[in-house]
């Protein structure tokens, strides 16, 4: 008896099922609830083998460099240059610089979505009553051979591929190297500016 019931159940499960997709009208669509956003995972490398805009010279003698060569080494050492991010906080102010960023970064679970702010923030949220962009930080970020420097500077860039502009002054506050896993939690809200 049980084997006959199993055979009937298997036969019914093997039958093809057809379902037709149909468009929802406004009333049906208003009953649908969902959650929007993007879930991102990935790995990227920054200047692991040198930048795309310049190549690493073969000699420490700057007079022999071509226009597309640059070294970030010091005291005559040749070193591949990393990425530079400069942020100017005021129109006539100095620069906050993340310099010589190199390495491999990977993450899983970075989320991106919009969020309505209409409460909280000491009462300012109700008055704001707008959508903001929310970056949900992944639980873990992995770093491999990652280096960076945090600095302040009076200008944001190079004069040319060989040297800093004569008036350029950059003070490195600290440099770091990360090789491992870092736990990050929370989110970052990006507010629009009119």
Residues 6+ apart with CB under 8 A from 133: 112, 113, 114, 115, 189, 190
Residues 6+ apart with CB under 8 A from 110: 39, 40, 41, 135, 136, 137, 138
Lookup: tokens for 85: 């991010």
Cα–Cα distance for residue pair 57/25, rounded to 1 Å: 65
Q: What is the mean pLDDT of residues 147-164?
A: 67
89-109 pLDDT per residue, tens: 777 777 888 888 888 889 888
pLDDT beyond 70 at 116: yes
pLDDT beyond 70 at 51: no
Cβ proximity of 158 and 165 under 8 Å: yes
What is residue 161's predicted lDDT score, i.e. its pLDDT? 45
Q: How confident is the model at residue 180 (pLDDT cuts 50, 70, 90)?
A: very high
SS3 13: helix
Count Cβ atoms within 10 A of the Cβ of residue 70 and give its class: 0-12 exposed, 13-18 middle, 19 or more buried.
buried
pLDDT beyond 60 at 173: yes
Cα–Cα distance for residue pair 138/43, rounded to 1 Å: 13
Q: What is the mean pLDDT of residues 43-70?
A: 74
Beta-carbon count within 10 A of 99 CB = 19
What percent of the chain has a predicted confidence (pLDDT) above 70? 75
């Amino acid at each position: 008896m049980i084997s006959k019931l199993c055979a009937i159940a298997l036969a019914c499960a093997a039958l093809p099922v057809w379902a037709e997709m149909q468009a929802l009208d406004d009333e049906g669509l208003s009953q649908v609830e969902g959650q929007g956003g993007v879930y991102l995972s990935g790995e990227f490398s920054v200047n692991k083998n040198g930048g795309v805009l310049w190549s690493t010279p073969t000699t420490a003698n700057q007079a022999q460099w071509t226009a597309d060569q640059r070294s970030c080494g010091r005291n005559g050492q040749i070193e591949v240059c990393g990425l530079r991010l400069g942020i100017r906080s005021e129109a006539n102010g100095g620069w906050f610089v993340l310099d010589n960023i190199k390495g491999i970064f990977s993450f899983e679970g970075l989320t991106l979505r919009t969020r309505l702010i209409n409460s909280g923030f000491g009462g300012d949220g109700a008055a704001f009553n707008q959508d903001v962009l929310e970056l949900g930080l992944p639980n873990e970020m992995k770093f491999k051979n990652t280096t960076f420097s945090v600095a302040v500077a009076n200008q944001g860039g190079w004069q040319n591929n060989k040297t800093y502009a004569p008036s350029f002054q950059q003070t490195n506050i600290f440099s770091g190297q990360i090789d491992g896993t870092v736990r990050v939690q929370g989110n970052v809200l990006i507010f629009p500016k009119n």
